[in-house]
Amino acid sequence: MENQIVIESPDGSFLAYISRPAKLPAPTVVVLHEVFGVNMDMRATCDELAAHGSIAVCPDLFWRQEPGVDLNAWSDAEWKKGLALYAAYDRDKGVRDIADTAHAASQLQGASGKVGLMGFCLGGLMAFLTAARETIDCAVAYHGGDTEKYLNEAGNITAPMLMHLAEEDEFISKEAQASIKAAFSNKPKVAIYNYPGCKHAFARHRGTHYNAAAAAKANQRSWQFLADHLS
């Protein structure tokens, strides 16, 4: 299919959604999905990034468990399925899959060679872990769940990184958010923004806690950050 590419890894191959900008060459942004897989929201995010001048690639992070996961965020049954996939997800292998995606993305026809990451929830955590363990040009993390459990790796971050945290996040406590900020306080290349009154996934299109004003502010910051560090 025109909007899919195949990523090869030592353990097998998996698909990724791709959205291309009107003008090439262009940098690439690897978009890392939530527990719902490569769904309508992630495809819309890729299309927005393409509209802002990037090649956007969203790999199927759950391919080792169940290829082709595409869940919605308003069905209780699909929430439960997503959470089960999340609980069983191998984050170490996931970092390698993301690194393989980033390498493949840098070699795409029309790609400039610069590659950034943008992740949401699970994907936000994986953006952080990949930036800590692999070479990447920059990373953006929206409300990365469980980030506070890996702060011993914060010292490994050398690339520019942008984090968005919702102050009223029901999955990332205020204590966890304080720990994240403290861990990066001596990292001038890491910027962390808080969004008062917002809950988890405040920037998810049509999400239950979608906050249009906060989402617009966060997204504008992300697009500018990517432009600054991938140009």
169 part of the active site: yes
The Cα–Cα gap between 126 and 98 comes to: 8
Q: Which residues are CB-neighbours of 139 under 8 A, at least 6 positions away?
A: 116, 117, 118, 119, 127, 128, 130, 131, 159, 160, 161, 162
Q: How far apart are the first and last CA of the chain?
A: 29
Catalytic position from the list 33, 52, 164, 200: 200
Catalytic position from the list 70, 169, 205, 228: 169
User: For helices 212-230 and 40-51, what crossing angle results, to 10°?
Assistant: 50
200 part of the active site: yes
The Cα–Cα gap between 216 and 164 comes to: 12
Q: C-alpha angle with apex 86: 218 to 134, nearest 5 degrees? A: 65
3-state secondary structure of 115: strand
In 174-222, DSSP assigns E strands to 190-195
Asked if the bond preceding 25 is cis, omega within 30° of 0, the reply is yes
- In terms of DSSP bridges, do strands 12-19 and 55-59 run parallel, antiparallel, or are they unpaired? antiparallel
The Cα–Cα gap between 41 and 117 comes to: 16
The Cα–Cα gap between 160 and 199 comes to: 25
List residues with catalytic annotation.
Answer: 169, 200
